[in-house]
């Protein structure tokens, strides 16, 4: 029979092991234990949100006792509107959607970080409609999802090719309907982002002609939240930023593996994947300049009833990112906003 004192000595290590296994997983210990905190992100699924794909695939969210729940939408703009309605914790979108929604009264929206930047939009046209060069688009019907970055980049593309918006017929088409709309001849061309561009080219085959559509201007993929969420879920947002920072490091150190993860999520071959120029977690001054440019374009083209460009710095909340990776904040923030 084992003496009582020795029984205690034997049982204590096993008790500690059970306690450890309840608060730790295969990727490390939870700082708080208990079930992971859930955070819901709404977004349209494309290569620009690669850091989120990497975070979930590599389990970086679980490293921080966090569970990311992704909700898919056709456009980033839809996810921003769901965020405004209180049905999401965060929304991921291009900066144009934030410009659009601030004009529409999104006073409590806050940009927490940029997670990628690049050129992923293409203008795709049908050769059998007589479109072989950009100048042939004059007088044609072009499908885009209105009030998205695609409409802005269509305006830029036409301007750079000496065509005004009034010289084409812009048709509002949902992103998921663009391939069928173009194939049916209801429009002569479309402008959209990947992976929808991949599906369109696959559907139309040799009848397509395509051009990069952004004319050298980067699109920035943002993480937005609401002022209330930033206050009530500060700890969860910090965990998320730390997980995304791990994903950004992975993308820098293993770019081929990062592309493979994004390819698997989007079901697009790696060789066809149009990944953004940069996967990283950052805030840069050039983002504000891009938003101001887009706001002026909207005003000039009567796409808003507003007449003044807002101060977009008021919609930047860099506090969480500064805690996690201060060197990533390369934006001039007045001291009274720090």
Q: Where are the domains of the chain?
A: 35-117+219-337, 121-212
Between CA 62 and CA 208 the distance in angstroms is 43
| Model confidence, pTM | 0.87
- Provide CATH code, domain 35-117+219-337: 3.40.190.10
Would you say residue 336 has pLDDT above 70?
Answer: no
The band of 275, judged by pLDDT with boundaries at 50, 70 and 90, is confident
Between CA 250 and CA 228 the distance in angstroms is 31
When mean pLDDT is compared across 28-37, 92-101, 214-223, the lowest value belongs to 28-37
Strand-strand pairing, 28-29 and 37-43: unpaired
| Level-2 CATH architecture, domain 121-212 | 3-Layer(aba) Sandwich (3.40)
330/1: higher pLDDT: 330
Between CA 28 and CA 21 the distance in angstroms is 10
CB 252 within 8 A of CB 332: no
Domains 35-117+219-337 and 121-212 share a fold: yes
Omega prior to 195 cis, within 30 of 0: yes
Q: Which of 288, 282, 335 is nearest to 311 (CA)?
A: 288
pLDDT at 337: 56
Q: What is the mean pLDDT of residues 119-131?
A: 96
For residue 8, the number of C-alpha atoms closer than 13 Å in the C-beta half-sphere is 2
Which two three-digit tokens encode residue 223? 């993480």
Would you say residue 8 has pLDDT above 50?
Answer: no
The band of 335, judged by pLDDT with boundaries at 50, 70 and 90, is low
pLDDT at 333: 76
Task: Encode pLDDT of 100-120 as tens digits.
Answer: 999 999 899 999 999 999 999
Task: Encode pLDDT of 55-78 as tens digits.
Answer: 999 999 999 999 999 999 999 999
The band of 215, judged by pLDDT with boundaries at 50, 70 and 90, is confident
pLDDT at 332: 84
Between CA 307 and CA 103 the distance in angstroms is 10
| Helix 50-58 with 255-266: angle, nearest 10 deg | 100
Would you say residue 20 has pLDDT above 70?
Answer: no
């Amino acid at each position: 029979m084992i003496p009582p004192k020795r029984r205690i000595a034997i049982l204590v290590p096993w008790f500690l092991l059970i306690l450890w296994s309840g608060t730790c997983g295969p990727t490390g210990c939870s700082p708080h234990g208990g079930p992971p905190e859930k955070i819901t992100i709404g977004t349209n699924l494309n290569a620009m949100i690669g850091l989120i794909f990497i975070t979930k695939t590599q389990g970086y969210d679980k490293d921080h006792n966090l569970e990311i729940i992704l909700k898919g939408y056709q456009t980033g703009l839809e996810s921003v509107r769901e965020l405004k309605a209180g049905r999401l914790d965060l929304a991921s979108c291009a900066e144009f959607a934030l410009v659009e929604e601030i004009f529409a009264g999104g006073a409590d929206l806050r940009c927490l970080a940029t997670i990628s930047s690049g050129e992923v939009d293409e203008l795709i046209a049908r050769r059998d409609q007589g479109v072989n060069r950009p100048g042939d688009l004059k007088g044609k019907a072009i499908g885009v999802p209105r009030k998205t970055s695609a409409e802005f980049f269509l305006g830029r593309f036409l301007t750079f090719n000496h065509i005004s918006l009034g010289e084409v017929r812009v048709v509002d088409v949902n992103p998921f309907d663009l391939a069928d709309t173009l194939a049916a001849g209801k429009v002569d061309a479309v402008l959209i982002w990947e992976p929808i561009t991949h599906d369109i080219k696959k559907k139309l085959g040799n009848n397509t002609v395509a051009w990069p559509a952004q004319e050298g201007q980067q699109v920035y993929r943002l993480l937005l939240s609401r002022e209330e969420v930033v206050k009530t879920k500060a700890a969860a947002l910090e965990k998320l930023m730390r997980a995304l920072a791990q994903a950004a490091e992975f993308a820098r150190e293993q770019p081929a593996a990062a592309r493979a993860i994004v390819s698997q999520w989007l079901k697009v071959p790696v060789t066809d994947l149009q990944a953004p120029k940069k996967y990283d977690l950052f805030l840069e001054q050039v983002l504000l300049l891009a938003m101001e440019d887009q706001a002026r374009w909207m005003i000039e083209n009567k796409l808003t009833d507003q007449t003044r460009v807002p101060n977009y710095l008021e919609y930047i909340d860099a506090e969480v990112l500064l805690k996690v990776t201060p060197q990533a904040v390369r934006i001039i923030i007045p001291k009274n906003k720090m």
